[in-house]
Amino acid sequence: MAKTIFFVDLSHCGTITNADTFPLGVACVAAYAKSMFKDNISVEIFKLPHDLNDRLKDGPPNVICFSNYVWNHFLTLAFARHIRKTWPDVPIIMGGPNISTATDGRIRFLQENPCVDFYVKFEGERAFARIMETMQAFHFDLSALRAAKPEIENTLYLADGDLIEGPQERIFDLTQIPSPYLNGMMDKFFEQGLRPLVEFVRGCPYACTFCTDSHEHRNKVMRRPADVVRAEMTYIAKHMQSASDMVLADLNFGQYKEDVEVSEIIRETIDTYGWPRSISCSPGKSQADRVMKCVKIINGEDRGIMKFASSVQSTDTDVLSAISRKNLPMDKLQPIMDSANHFDDHTEYFTEIILGLPLDSVERHYNSLRDTIDRLGMNIVNVHQLTLLQGSPMALPEQRERYQLDVRHRVFVGCIGTYEVGSEFIPIAEFEEVVVANSTMSYDEWLQCRIMSLLVKVYIDRDYFIEVFGFIKRLGLSAVDLLEIIKSDMTKKYAGMSDVIDRFLLKTEEPLHDRFEDIQKFVLNTETVEKFRTGELGGNELLVHRALLYLNHQDDLHGALHDAAKELLARNDLLTDEYARYLEQAVHYSQTRKFSPRNFATEIVSEFDFDFPSAKASGYRVLPSEIKMGRKKMRFYFNDLARSEIKYALQTWVKPKQELLDDFEKLAAVDLSSDGQTMYSFGKLFHNSNLRVMNRSVQSISAN
């Protein structure tokens, strides 16, 4: 009789669906197992907790396998413990990067979680097959198996208190792993509103110490063949049922020559099926020209589907050395960024910086901002907080001590809820360790850098205020200096903006706890969980407060920018009457042109003395004298592309009722920011959507 095996990659959904992608990892393990054991096994795959719990009410599987990530660790263990208590003989296998790389850490994990029979430390496909074969050899008598202590590849388990650790192995031919999309194993997840996750390349040649993929076991890169890529893309596109982007799990997309062909396949899919309309991925750290070529192929001529990205984490040589990081060289990036036409093709230029890395300081962090924003002209800058991940070298005790990493505990964003496990309803949360200070940065300095992170998201991302920042750059001045003036001198002048920043700081500090035991006690009750559900507690503070500023305080944002720009010019002896008048009109033009959910149903007419539409081609890097004209009226309206993108973005992230999407005037009249979760949804919209495509078009309609 065939043995039933469950493969489970759980996602929290008590507040939002946090890890909202298809469960590709466990699905690949399931597909490989099915190819090996054929009709001797039947497999089922689960993503949502209630789906798994409902299925368990019909009885247990013969074997159950769980993924273990920082975002589902305790949720997974809750089900594993329930299964062990209810059905003690069901073997429980767990795998994933969320376990220490040190032997003592691995032993401690298995001792603290005796419900886990076997832990897969790296790739799971062959490891699971070997575990199954080994259990079969012992007639599924795990006591006898432990007594014999066989080594199983990529697998850890305890026997008489000893850690039994098998050799590290990888699959070097990815054709051995059938596609879980093409064999239909993933079909159920199209109905669950999840985002398709694909992986065409496995492995990473780099060794960044903050990353769980830094182990040498992962440094050789393997690739799926082009025919599989094409077949998967076509299959997914044909089965899409709701608006969604695509997540590409390749760790260095674009840096390999084969990625050019993959890009062409993706573009063909877009042209044929209209999907995907946006792609999230991790870019290559070398071969900048090839990365750009891949982006251009995918984007075509219509919209910015994929960003050109170069994640730097830091540009300081000492910091990069401390974290074993290799970046695309600045001298390779510079000519690409200098020659890029940022506005004709809607391509966006993206980087990531991590705040609080070993040896990071305020000065070094600001220099990284200047390098990426002022020097390179990146128009999406994600500043992340450093978190210590189990499975990464930086989480080891020696790294913590060496760099004096000051760590606080907080709830992982979106990873909390009350779940039915068996017949009980249990509050469950996930936690992460956030570095809030180090040997070269104090906690107070870290907080001030967090305010700057918010201002970077608000003012730099998506060129949301490019009409002013383009002028600042043309004058040879620093956008980061302008943000510093806003931060230090202007926010207190604008009550609404000041209030949001104060709330942002409170929300930044609110979830931080010195001791893990304290935060566990605080969150694990139904009353606290309810506060997280409503948004009173928790949430992504950057996304939520950016959305609050965009939705409710546009006048303050533009006023602070206007005043700060005048101050920056005055400090550099550049503030003339003409420049002052130009700034005033540039700020007004910028505000009028923007997409806002508060006002996107009507056209707007306004008058200007400068030809701002002609300045767009140069990224508004013009002098007032170059575009000065007689006073003209201009009409601001949303063209068909903008309206389509707005509708798609709202469908994807905010999900209002369909009748509202079909009538923009009705939608604009609805209060779409009435609760914390909706604000988070708008934060995701602003974070993930190409706002430049969603801006109003401008047309001159008369001259006086």
The dihedral sign for the CA sequence 213, 217, 218, 219: positive
pLDDT for 284 beyond 60: yes
Per-residue pLDDT, 662:
57
3-165 under CATH 3.40.50.280, yes or no: yes
Nearby residues of 263 by Cβ (< 8 Å), 6 or more positions away: 254, 293, 294, 295, 297, 298
Per-residue pLDDT, 655:
73
Alpha-carbon distance of 75 to 578, in angstroms, equals 61
Per-residue pLDDT, 601:
65
**For the segment 631-681, what is each residue's pLDDT rounded down to a tens digit?**
999 999 988 888 888 888 888 888 765 555 555 556 555 555 555 667 778
Classify 196 as helix, strand or coil. coil
Alpha-carbon distance of 523 to 398, in angstroms, equals 30
Per-residue pLDDT, 344:
57
What letter represents residue 406's amino acid? D
- Lowest-pLDDT choice from 24-38, 206-220, 572-586: 206-220
pLDDT for 299 beyond 60: yes
Alpha-carbon distance of 252 to 599, in angstroms, equals 40
- Lowest-pLDDT choice from 121-130, 322-331, 422-431, 621-630: 322-331
Per-residue pLDDT, 343:
56
Confidence class of residue 275 from pLDDT cuts 50, 70 and 90? very high
Residue boundaries of the structural domains of the chain: 3-165
**CA 355 to centroid of chain Cα atoms:** 16
- Lowest-pLDDT choice from 339-343, 414-418, 489-493, 693-697: 339-343
Alpha-carbon distance of 589 to 252, in angstroms, equals 39
Alpha-carbon distance of 179 to 175, in angstroms, equals 9
Exposure b/e, 253-277, CB count within 10 A at least 16 = b: bbbbeebeebbebbbebbeeeebbb
Mean pLDDT of the chain: 90
pTM: 0.88
Confidence class of residue 573 from pLDDT cuts 50, 70 and 90? very high
Counting residues of the chain whose pLDDT is more than 90, the rounded percentage is 67
**For the segment 66-83, what is each residue's pLDDT rounded down to a tens digit?**
999 999 999 999 999 999
If one counts every other C-beta atom within 10 angstroms of the C-beta of residue 578, the result is 14
Confidence class of residue 32 from pLDDT cuts 50, 70 and 90? very high
Structure tokens at 110: 């298995």
Per-residue pLDDT, 535:
75
Tell the burial category of 703 from Cβ atoms under 10 Å away from its Cβ (0-12, 13-18, 19+).
Answer: exposed
Contact predicate 102/110, CB 8 Å: no
In sequence order, which ranges of 486-630 are alpha helices (DSSP H)? 495-509, 516-523, 526-534, 541-552, 554-571, 577-593, 612-615, 624-627
**For the segment 330-386, what is each residue's pLDDT rounded down to a tens digit?**
777 777 776 655 555 567 788 899 999 999 999 999 999 999 999 988 888 999 999
Counting residues of the chain whose pLDDT is more than 70, the rounded percentage is 94
Which of 314, 311, 305 lies closest to 328 in space, CA to CA? 311
